[in-house]
Amino acid sequence: MAIKPLTSDRFDFDDATDAIEFYFKKGWTDGLPVVPPTPGKVAGFLNAAGRSPSEILCTEPTKGRVITAEKVAINAVMAGCLPEYFPVVAAAVEAMSEPEFNLHGITASTAGAAVLALVNGPIANELHLNSGVSLFGPGHRANATIGRALRLVIINGSGSVSGEIDKATIGHPGKYTWCIAEAEEVSPWDPLHVERGSPDDHSAVTVFAGLSPIQAAFHESGRPEEILTSFTNALFASGQEQEEVVIVICPEHMGYIRSSGWSKDDVRSFLFESTQRKVADWTGSGAFPGGPPQDPDVLYRVAKRPESFTLLVGGGAAGAFSSIIPLWGGGAGSRSVTKDISVHR
């Protein structure tokens, strides 16, 4: 397709090192060096996703920002993406633009949320997105650079610069980059995008406003009841009456749950019933910022309803370590959003 001209301001340098230093000086990075975004590379990214430079992918009304595909592509080049990753980045940015995701709130708040991007469907394997060993760790270009591209869009596109708009007290390292695929091949269940209405041969990306993950280790038994009970301490730490909380079940735990024939709903019901306790037992947990309710015997649950548990499968084959990911504002202030990834438009 014929690509329209790029309209961003241009800067000339003698070599890449000078350009990289210029981006540092301008405050246009996440604190790490960037790939210099040349017009040729940016045009290649837009072509790979069939996007016009002027197409609006995100609006952020609080700060009055309108983020075009051209700006997203520039940041994706800077993050180290390959052109074929750009359809995922573009769809994730569109997901972040949905009002229920509350992009301004989650990127300004002292609570310090990161954007966790989950990729489902055939594109995950095509791009070699990691769903396995060291799931949240380094060493996988597609994961590392797609997640980083979203952070650079937040910094440069939406203007949430650390210390200016981004007022996170501590935050967590997922704010540098946090993109995973779901290990659909080790799960007997529908993957998340299918659960949310996409055909299983489609690819989709879901964005979550993820707070720091809590690891749940349990090696003592293969009974689903005991494995899931071992998650409850981490779940109690994640908050009370949450609209949504994410659980990434590792393959070893999943293997036991799978061989016992438990469905997603079975797991959710069990967790829902086993994560309620009296106000008195929540005391000291920090779960009631405005002070605890008067009656110490009233029961409060971790989740509002069984469906509030979003169940994903991922991680390395060895080790019985799952992960609980609380969401910003208990999932009420920011809803996770799923978007189909259109590769050939």
Partner 1 sequence: MATATRLQVLDPTVQPIPASAVIAPRPETLDGAVVGLLSNGKRNADVLLGMVHEVLADRFDFKDVMVRDKGNASRPCPTNLLQEMADQCDLVITSSGD
Q: Is 240 in the site for partner 1 (CB under 8 A)?
A: no
Among 3, 8, 32, 321, binds partner 1 (CB under 8 A): 8
Q: Is 239 in the site for partner 1 (CB under 8 A)?
A: no
# binding residues, partner 1 (CB under 8 A): 45
Name which of residues 155 to 194 contact partner 1 (CB under 8 A): 156-159
Among 4, 21, 54, 66, binds partner 1 (CB under 8 A): 66
CA distance 145 to 77: 9
Among 102, 130, 143, 336, binds partner 1 (CB under 8 A): 102
Among 49, 69, 75, 267, binds partner 1 (CB under 8 A): 75
Output the CA angle 287-303-289, nearest 5 degrees: 15
Q: Is 5 in the site for partner 1 (CB under 8 A)?
A: no
CA distance 254 to 263: 11
Structure tokens at 317: 């084959």
Q: Is 65 in the site for partner 1 (CB under 8 A)?
A: yes
For the purposes of burial, counting CB atoms within 10 Å of the CB of 227, is it exposed (0-12), middle (13-18) or buried (19 or more)? buried
Among 1, 2, 5, 12, binds partner 1 (CB under 8 A): 12
Closest CA relative to residue 248, chosen from 314, 193, 191? 314
Among 329, 336, 337, 338, binds partner 1 (CB under 8 A): 329
156 or 336: whose CB is closer to partner 1? 156
Among 13, 138, 259, 296, binds partner 1 (CB under 8 A): 13
Give the residues across from 58 on adjacent strands.
67
Taking the complex as a whole, how short is the minimal distance between the CB of residue 137 and partner 1, in angstroms?
Answer: 27
Q: Which residue has the tokens 């209405």?
A: 197
CA distance 116 to 106: 12
Query: Which among 35-43, 236-244, 265-273, 302-310 is the span making contact with partner 1, rule CB under 8 A?
Result: 35-43
Structure tokens at 60: 């952020």
Question: In this structure, what DSSP letter does residue 156 have?
Answer: I
Q: Is 62 in the site for partner 1 (CB under 8 A)?
A: yes
CA distance 75 to 128: 21
Distances (CA, A) of 189 to 117, 146, 257: 20, 26, 11
When computed from its CA atoms, the radius of gyration of the chain, rounded to whole angstroms, is: 21
Taking the complex as a whole, how short is the minimal distance between the CB of residue 225 and partner 1, in angstroms?
Answer: 37
46 or 216: whose CB is closer to partner 1? 46
Q: Is 152 in the site for partner 1 (CB under 8 A)?
A: yes
* 32: Cα separation from own chain's centroid: 20
Q: Is 290 in the site for partner 1 (CB under 8 A)?
A: yes
Among 1, 2, 5, 10, binds partner 1 (CB under 8 A): 10
Q: Is 52 in the site for partner 1 (CB under 8 A)?
A: no
74 or 129: whose CB is closer to partner 1? 74
**AA letter at 21:** E
Among 30, 42, 129, 301, binds partner 1 (CB under 8 A): 42
DSSP, residue by residue, 258-309: HHTT--HHHHHHHHHHHSEEEHHHHTTSS--TT---S-TT-EEESBSSGGGE
Residue ranges binding partner 1 (CB under 8 A): 6, 8-16, 18-19, 22-23, 28, 36-39, 42, 61-68, 71, 74-75, 78, 102, 105, 109, 152, 156-159, 289-290, 329, 332-333
